[in-house]
Structure formats: structure tokens, C-alpha cells
Amino acid sequence: MSATAFPPSGPAPWSVSRDLPPYRGILAVDAKDFTGRPAVEHVTLTTTIPQLLHQALERAGLEQLWRDQRFANNTGDGFVFGFDPVALPRVIHPFLNELQELLTDYNIHATATGRLRLRVSLHVGPLPDSGAPGDGNGTPRNDTHRLLDSTPVKAILAASSESITQVAAIVSQRVFEDAVLSGYTRLHPDRFIEVPATVEGKNFQQRAWLFVPAPSGNLYDRRILGDGAGSEGPAQPERAPAPPAEPAPAPAVTNNYGFLSNAKTVRGGQHQHVHGSDSGQGGTA
């Protein structure tokens, strides 16, 4: 029997079963306020960002990851590339902390307009990677960029001290489950804050997790993420309610994100505290 002839674009979705593309981790970074900088600085920053990524990966013992990067793309105000997902736990830690420290050193010597602060997103999924044009294109790649542009990670970097917090990272639910909840990375799950990742003007909403290697300033006030607290000064820890006479049903979870020590998230049906201190070292706070 002769093989079915398909158009150059291949068979239509749901028309034939086929192998999945290989799974790839996707790392994307974006500079804060890039478009607001003088145009003369754009070329310099475009080359500086990948250099800093390379150095941070080298510091984290991930030099091979940089050499083996897949479908890399310099976006002008950032950089994105694919990599073997077995390295995801080490990209979360120690890479994010090394990037924070490297940017701290870089910004000490930079001019006021030359300071560089980065948002980082991490995702994983099946993407074409055969060495052909179009490699790396697919829903996981699109979602990585949506996460990078999402409101929570932008808000958390904007609200922090530019002298302290140089990196704000957001990881997808899949990355969080595979690399963090599983215990494969050095960072405890309580170091992450659950957020609904949305992008203004885009039909996009996903559950995601924020991690800030060096939190500062207003990051300890959960109102910056739209928690709905009043405007009369910093949010205060809630008083513990009196114990009910009978066991009460589990409360509904609404805005379960923020850096306050009394903020809670729910995983596995149990409440867990989210700690506000992140020294970059592993273990519980």
C-alpha cells in the first residue's frame, strides 16, 4: 500500500497519530524598561544580556547548557533558548541565584541608565528540534513568552528595590511540579508564590509560580499583586479566628499569593505557609 501523501505542512491536527517532538526546557529573559532607554544603548544591551546569561550559567556549573542551547533567539530586549530538561532543577537553583549575584555586581559599576534588571520565565514541553527551520515553535514556546510578559512578574520586579532585587522569575505549573514539588531542586516549594499569570490584552491565563532570589522593599506587601487589601498602609497579619465549635469545611482559596509570612497556598489539599525570606540558599526558611 502506498504511503498517504500529505501537503508540505504535514498532516492536519487530529488527522493521524504521530510521535511527539522531544521535550525541551525553555528559558527566556527580558530586560525591564528596555524600550524606555536611549536608542544608542540598545545595541550594547542586546549583546550584554546573552553575555550575562552565559556567565551566570558558567558560575552555576551549567556551561554545557550554553554550548548545547537549542533554537536560540536574541529578542533585542532579551534572549530565549531551549535546553535538555534534565537540567531544569539546576536552572532554578543555583542559576537564578547566580544571575541575581552577577547582575548585582554588574549594576554596581553601571551608569544610572545602564543598570540592568531581568525577568525570567521557565517552561517545558514538546517542541520541534530537528535542526530544521521552524525549530522551537509551538505552544510551550508561546506560553514561555506569555509568562515572561505576565502581570505578576512585571509587578513584582517594578515594586522591588532596584538596588537589591535584580531578578524576578516565573515558572510554569509543569516546571514547578516536575522540578520543585518533586524535590529535585535545592529550593523548597515554600520559596515560591502561586499566582494567576495573565497578560494584558491577551487571551492567556495560567497557574504559575514566582521566585525572587533577593526580595526587597514592597515585595513584603502582598497588595502589589492585587490582593485587594486596603490602602491604609502595609497589610497586617490577620488575627487567628476563634476555634469553631465543630470542624468547619476547608475555606475556598482566592488570592493565595504574596510575601507576607501569613500568606498561604494550597498544595495536596493542605495549607502551607509561604515564607518571605529568600537568601538564595536551599531548605526551608
Report the pLDDT value the prediction gives residue 222, as an integer from 0 to 100: 61
C-beta separation of 49 from 31 below 8 A: yes
Q: Evaluate whether 82 touches 24 at the Cβ level (below 8 Å).
A: yes
Give 65-99 pLDDT, tens digit per residue: 999 999 999 998 999 999 999 999 999 999 999 99
What does the pLDDT read at residue 105?
96
Q: For residue range 157-178, what is the model confidence (pLDDT) as tens digits?
A: 999 999 999 999 999 999 999 9
Report domain extents, the chain.
23-226+254-262
CB-based burial label for 93 (10 Å; 0-12, 13-18, 19+): buried
Task: Return the higher-pLDDT residue of 265 and 210.
Answer: 210
Return the higher-pLDDT residue of 185 and 113: 185
Higher pLDDT pick, 46 / 167: 167
The superfamily in CATH containing domain 23-226+254-262 is Nucleotide cyclase, GGDEF domain (3.30.70.1230)
Q: What is the pTM of this model?
A: 0.76
Beta bridge partners of 205: 198
Tell me the average pLDDT across 257-280.
36
For residue 232, the model assigns a pLDDT of 41
